[in-house]
Structure 1
Amino acid sequence: MFERNESVRVLPRSSDAFFEHLIDYAGLFPPTQLPLQIAITNYASYITGTDEWKIGPFVHLAYTLNELDPYVSLFSKEHPLSISALGRKGQSERDSFELLEEDLKAILSFRERHGEKVSVDFLELPIPSLNVTSQYIAELHLYLSKYNLFCYCELPINEEEINWEDRLKDAMASIAKQNRIAPSLIGAKLRTGGIRADLIPSVEIVASFIHSCKTHKVPSKFTAGLHHPIRMYRDEVQTEMHGFLNVFIAGLMAHTHDLEQEAIIDILETQESSGISFEKDKIIWNGLEVTTDKIIELRRSYLRSYGSCSFEGPMNEFRVLNVLERG
């Protein structure tokens, strides 16, 4: 959507840069949990609608991709069914690779059956433990290279475990090291919510994840819970839910201004939109600024997307905030 020619560069608005392919559509998953026919029909309409540039891949389990076969006719070479495939979690690193081999065969078979009507470029893989070994990361990279995939490793962070923050940093360092010695094919993924309060990570966990990704220059993805733009208390979970503006703007500002964790936490905890302004050439968040150019760079390189069971809901809630071109 960002057009260029040799003499003129057409610069998008900051909001265009922010929302470019921001949401990966996970309509099959809770709390929406739509039937497959409805979810895939929704996706086919989204990628040909006026907001198609805001949506990313369709999220589906890798080993059951054959369930999508009857619906591939809804798509075309011009508007393919783009998939982010979910891998399965093994109890150990060896178990993880046994399941991964089966999932990768399912991905390859799906690609071969449908050709240019489909694309499977992303894998989301829950790793067995935060104590991931460098050997595991290196072997994973070999699989990704063979199957031409980019993988987001879902990091299982438990705040009750001793030294979880040190282990998070070590895992990020292992990913970053592998990406430096070979083509960058691995990112990190964090679950930011769920259908119960105990599934929603603290601001400390989210801030540590963002800070570690920034420090080690690891591409990131988020999933679950980011249904609303701004952090707010929700009766359905009896606690505060993270806002997608909080999370992504925290990431943008952390990279741009080299923020430490305390400053990232301040952004994540904000429950008011009065200090936010999406202006033409920058986003302002309570005095901090990030330019449209920088947003484009960071969104494409590091702050990739988040999975949501709803596409229209987050977009509609953002529109009513009245934060566009403020001031």
Structure 2
Amino acid sequence: MGPTRSLRTLLTEIIDYAGLFPPAKLGMPAAVETYNRARMGDHEWMLARFICPVSRLDEFEKDASPLLPGTFARSGYREQGDAADPWSISALIDGTLASDLDRIDAFNARHADERHGLARIDMIELKVTDVHQIDRALDEIPEDLFPAFEF
């Protein structure tokens, strides 16, 4: 028996996957494989975004591309159905905000094309020390990115 509708509504996409960080602290290949398996599991409805630092996006693309919806796996056959949703990613800003936003924009443009695998950074996480930093950051962050600020 599955969860009640109200419980399912409450818990839908409640868990962001942070396998790159403690306690798991997996390497990128293991992290993307684990996230991919979880997306196909019985509890996939609770899974939300893959958490990735902007500085590791190149590594993410290298290891995740064969698994992303729309791409062909090493076997040459589609691993995911054409209707599969793109992977949602929350990017940790770990460089300058302007340069990281440029990298995010390039990533999103590339991964809007299924030949590169469907993925979208739709959230960013940014460490700040005061509310003035939040105001300045909000002036730079595009409206299609949801920001989370950490003190």
Q: TM-score, normalised by structure 2?
A: 0.77
Please give the alpha-carbon distance, in whole angstroms, between the structure 2 residues aligned to 1:54 and 1:109: 28
Q: Extract unaligned runs of 5+ from structure 2.
A: 71-83
1:30 paired residue number:
22
Equivalent position amino acid for 2:138 in 1: H
Please give the alpha-carbon distance, in whole angstroms, between the structure 2 residues aligned to 1:115 and 1:26: 23
Please give the alpha-carbon distance, in whole angstroms, between the structure 2 residues aligned to 1:138 and 1:31: 33
Equivalent position amino acid for 2:122 in 1: D
Higher Cα Rg, which structure: 1
Asked if 1:119 is matched to 2:120, the reply is yes
Please give the alpha-carbon distance, in whole angstroms, between the structure 2 residues aligned to 1:87 and 1:145: 14
Query: Post-superposition shift, 1:28?
Result: 0.6
1:265 paired residue number:
none
Asked if 1:82 is matched to 2:88, the reply is yes
Which one of the candidate residues 28, 34, 57 is aligned to 1:65?
57
Equivalent position amino acid for 1:13 in 2: R
Which one of the candidate residues 128, 147, 151 is aligned to 2:147?
151
Please give the alpha-carbon distance, in whole angstroms, between the structure 2 residues aligned to 1:72 and 1:81: 11
CA deviation profile, 1:202-235 (whole Å, cap 9, x unmatched) = xxxxxxxxxxxxxxxxxxxxxxxxxxxxxxxxxx
Q: Contact 1:21/1:53 (CA < 8 Å) preserved in 2?
A: yes
Equivalent position amino acid for 1:120 in 2: I
Please give the alpha-carbon distance, in whole angstroms, between the structure 1 residues aligned to 2:15 and 2:109: 27
Equivalent position amino acid for 1:142 in 2: D
Please give the alpha-carbon distance, in whole angstroms, between the structure 2 residues aligned to 1:145 and 1:111: 13
CA deviation profile, 1:274-317 (whole Å, cap 9, x unmatched) = xxxxxxxxxxxxxxxxxxxxxxxxxxxxxxxxxxxxxxxxxxxx
Q: Contact 1:125/1:152 (CA < 8 Å) preserved in 2?
A: yes
Please give the alpha-carbon distance, in whole angstroms, between the structure 2 residues aligned to 1:49 and 1:138: 40
Q: Contact 1:63/1:102 (CA < 8 Å) preserved in 2?
A: no
Cα gap change, 1:24 to 1:37, in 2 (>3 Å)? same
Number of residue-to-residue matches in the alignment: 130
Q: Where does 1:170-189 land on structure 2 (aligned, <5 Å)? A: none
Which one of the candidate residues 100, 104, 110 is aligned to 1:103?
100
Please give the alpha-carbon distance, in whole angstroms, between the structure 2 residues aligned to 1:23 and 1:149: 19
2:79 paired residue number:
none
Identity among equivalent pairs (%) = 32
Q: Extract unaligned runs of 5+ from structure 1.
A: 1-11, 89-97, 156-327
Please give the alpha-carbon distance, in whole angstroms, between the structure 2 residues aligned to 1:28 and 1:139: 29
**3-state DSSP of counterpart to 2:112:** helix
Q: TM-score, normalised by structure 1?
A: 0.37
Which runs of 4 or more aligned residues in structure 1 lie more than 4 Å from their structure 2 counterparts after TM superposition?
A: none
What is the root-mean-square deviation in Å for CA atoms of aligned residues?
A: 1.8
Query: Post-superposition shift, 1:119?
Result: 0.7
Q: Contact 2:134/2:149 (CA < 8 Å) preserved in 1?
A: no
Query: Post-superposition shift, 1:82?
Result: 1.4
Query: Post-superposition shift, 1:143?
Result: 1.8
**3-state DSSP of counterpart to 2:56:** helix
Please give the alpha-carbon distance, in whole angstroms, between the structure 1 residues aligned to 2:41 and 2:140: 35
Cα gap change, 1:132 to 1:138, in 2 (>3 Å)? closer
Please give the alpha-carbon distance, in whole angstroms, between the structure 2 residues aligned to 1:73 and 1:80: 13
Query: Post-superposition shift, 1:153?
Result: 0.3
Please give the alpha-carbon distance, in whole angstroms, between the structure 1 residues aligned to 2:85 and 2:7: 24
Query: Post-superposition shift, 1:103?
Result: 1.1
Query: Post-superposition shift, 1:144?
Result: 1.8
Query: Post-superposition shift, 1:79?
Result: 3.3
